């Protein structure tokens, strides 16, 4: 898939405002800089070439509002990278809290340590080997919830299925569902789940949202995990709120820290509350909860 980038620099104090102005044109937006920098860089990414004519009026309006010059915008194609080959070449086993992540052809390096959860994942055609900061952030957030009782959990946008594997390891009696809209990712996840001996515990499904019958009928869910882009997360906020059990928790990742505002706002609009923010190398993980209704008074 071709990825396009929109980039420009603006005064640091105005970076977030300019970033918000291009959200409607880009799938993911972020802004970057150090506190000492006068100018910060704003970047947006999209799977189609952004329309320069659509960008200019929005940026001109923001520039007039904050009293700065209209930034010079660069629109370019991001060079493709063979992420699978790069990951596979450097896929030595590694630890994330109680998880050890390793290739499917490796011996279980932590098999003698019952407290360590081994996740066997190969770099392949789907996203999610645990090395990316967004995946690591979700694993860390899930690990903090390990003492909670979880009965049903879907991994929405599962990629390789690594978060579904983690859920199955953390909650051995839970029913786990792994769903992705990409058939290739689902095929990869099927192989990954089998390699981990979890074929009877994790159900795989090709689906693009919570309204799909097989997802809806297995809810409500105690925990939902989703490590995808900011745009789809915001669009799916209503579906997540409808699928999450009162008192349930959602762990969301896959977006830069600058995209926090719109992801959180979309979920707050459907009644979810922020529990915790975590940042890993510029990528943010949100832990949210859906408050349970107040208990009815008892008489007698």
pLDDT digits (tens, 9 = 90+) for 264-296: 999 999 999 999 999 888 889 999 999 987 765
3-26 CB burial, b ≥16 within 10 A, e <16: ebebbbbbbbebbbbbbbbbbebb
Peptide bond into 220 cis (omega under 30): yes
Q: Count the Cβ atoms, other than its own, within 10 Å of residue 182.
A: 17
Q: From residue 41, how far is each of 7, 119, 206 by CA, in Å?
A: 7, 37, 37
Task: Quote the CA–CA distance of 17 and 14 in Å, as a whole number.
Answer: 5
Q: ∠ at Cα 222 (221, 228), nearest 5°?
A: 70
* Contacts (Cβ under 8 Å, ≥6 apart) of 11: 38, 39, 40, 66, 68
- Supply the pTM of this predicted model: 0.66
Q: Are strands 202-206 and 74-78 parallel, antiparallel or unpaired?
A: unpaired
Q: What CATH number is given for 3-78 in this structure?
A: 3.30.70.120
Kindly state the helix (H) or strand (E) to which residue 64 belongs, with its residue range: helix 52-66
Region 51-72: mean pLDDT is: 92
Question: Is CATH 3.40.50.150 correct for 126-289?
Answer: yes
Decide: 183 and 174 in contact? Cβ < 8 Å.
no
Q: In the predicted model, what is the mean pLDDT of residues 224-237?
A: 92
Residue corresponding to tokens 């102005």: 21
Residue 283: predicted pLDDT: 87
Q: How far is CA 259 from the centre of its chain?
A: 11
Q: How far is CA 104 from CA 76, 86, 143, 195, 288, in A?
A: 37, 17, 22, 6, 32
Q: Token pair for residue 110?
A: 């932590």
C-beta neighbour count of 181 within 10 angstroms: 15
Please state the domain extents for the chain.
3-78, 126-289
- The percentage of residues in the chain with a pLDDT greater than 90, rounded to a whole number, is 38
Let me know: does 123 contact 84? Beta carbons within 8 Å: yes
What is the residue-averaged pLDDT of the chain?
Answer: 81
Which tokens belong to 81?
Answer: 């990278």
pLDDT digits (tens, 9 = 90+) for 142-169: 999 988 999 999 999 988 888 999 899 9
**How do beta strands 39-46 and 74-78 pair?**
unpaired
Tokens of 240: 């997540």
Q: What is the pLDDT of residues 23-40, one digit of tens each?
A: 888 776 767 666 567 888
Q: 231: pLDDT confidence band, cut at 50, 70 and 90?
A: confident
Tell me what pLDDT residue 259 has. Answer: 85
In a 3-state reduction of DSSP, which class is residue 20? helix
| Shared fold status for 3-78 and 126-289 | no
């Amino acid at each position: 898939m071709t990825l396009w980038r929109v980039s420009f620099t603006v005064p640091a104090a105005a970076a977030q405002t300019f970033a918000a102005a291009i959200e409607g044109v880009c799938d993911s937006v972020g802004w970057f800089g150090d506190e000492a920098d006068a100018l910060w860089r704003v970047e947006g990414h999209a799977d189609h070439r952004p329309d320069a004519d659509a960008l200019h009026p929005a940026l001109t309006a923001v520039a007039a509002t904050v009293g700065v010059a209209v930034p010079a915008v660069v629109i370019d194609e991001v060079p493709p990278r063979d992420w699978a080959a790069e990951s596979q070449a450097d896929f030595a086993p590694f630890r994330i809290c109680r998880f050890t992540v390793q290739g499917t052809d490796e011996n279980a390096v932590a098999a003698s340590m019952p407290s360590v959860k081994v996740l066997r994942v190969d770099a392949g055609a789907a996203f999610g080997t645990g090395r990316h900061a967004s995946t690591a952030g979700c694993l860390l957030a899930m690990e903090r919830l390990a003492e909670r009782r979880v009965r049903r959990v879907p991994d929405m946008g599962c990629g390789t299925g690594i978060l579904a594997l983690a859920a199955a390891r953390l909650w051995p009696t839970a029913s786990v569902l792994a769903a992705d809209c990409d058939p290739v990712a689902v095929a990869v996840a099927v192989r990954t789940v089998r390699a981990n001996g979890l074929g009877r515990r994790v159900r795989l499904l090709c689906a693009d949202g919570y309204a799909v019958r097989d997802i809806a009928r297995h809810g409500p869910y105690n925990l939902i995990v989703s490590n995808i882009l900011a745009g789809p997360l915001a669009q799916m906020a209503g579906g997540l709120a409808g699928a999450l059990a009162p008192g349930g928790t959602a762990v969301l990742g896959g977006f830069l820290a600058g995209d926090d505002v719109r992801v959180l706002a979309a979920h707050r609009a459907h009644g979810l509350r922020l529990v915790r923010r975590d940042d890993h190398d510029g990528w943010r993980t949100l832990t949210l909860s859906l408050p349970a209704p107040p208990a009815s008074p008892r008489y007698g």
